Structure 1
């Protein structure tokens, strides 16, 4: 219960990696606000866990973000831990990328992280402890074939984290990015269909492409990413700052 008394806010907290991190933070004692665009999904995710609290919030809408944070702070106090996880994972070659698609990816993944981190810091600065974690991707550390917009957005998240870590050095707030490879979530099902369509391969072959992209030849468990997030929130991890941590089975 090292995080007892802390308020965490996790965007995209209704499913997948976000929900896994939120549940792990709650198990460590934090009161966790989970946000997303579908309130019913968030409420289902929070059902049965008294430390999970559903809050509808669209990270691409500045008014929704500022209003959502105000509501969360009023209910559970200043945000001590913020996990910027909300995002979209879609690939499209550059010649098939129009400005609408480019802006969709960048607005959700990068603008969303900027807006929510900014609002979190407004309340976090009142405390003597703070943790900001951006869920980037292995695509934030290298180029991901067939997904230049997604790759750019995830590189941008790491740049944001590194810039903020320099700005806030010595103030008790750390900024780090988690960079998972292919994780066993519902997004895998979407990616299988996308790969099948683009590469003209079978479902099994599409799954093999993702599995083999991880050097240890298996999908990464949500709990592995969640465990890293909880570790970063431990008071004993206060000297880990400005890092982009690969959780990708040995990717270097």
Structure 2
């Protein structure tokens, strides 16, 4: 499974352009989310009509936004699924992969709506020169969920299971931006500070922040880079996925 393109849109970007979200009507607010989704489409290496599956995730209970998206994509006859509110990005990527393996889909779009919007296009095969291959998707075992610091041994074991070593790791991405956890990652994995990518803009991180950090840095990744993405929910490790740029 490959990531063909990934994009993001932040509400803060609107505010910098003097757009006052608080004063917008519901219709205008929905349209702003729609524009955020469309923002990533220029990076897509194939026509939008090739997509046959959309997974919609939301941390905000955005039913109106989902209805708006369904209306916009209705003419394309795309299967649109909604992830459960207590789900994670790991579950959604796993669901897309299962559709690919079952030959029920060839190209999929994952839409994650929170305070930001992240959109990610997947395919079951490589279609462009530089794409990210999803090597593995895993859920954290219970013993590693109990502590924010045990995830380092989990990361090490997951790399070894896939034939890699810590020395092969190019970047580590996760959504716990507290300084103590970041320092623990640097010291435990013995990787340079600039190889740890987090979203440090918010004191309280959400699961989307791992995905957002991936989207923000994706254009800087180079061929053969190995990226490991960890996803927390309320500082409990939920799972991870391993990505290699090919």
Provide TM-score, normalisation by structure 2: 0.32
- Higher RCO by CA contacts (8 Å cutoff, separation 6 or greater): 2
Larger strand share, 1 or 2? 2
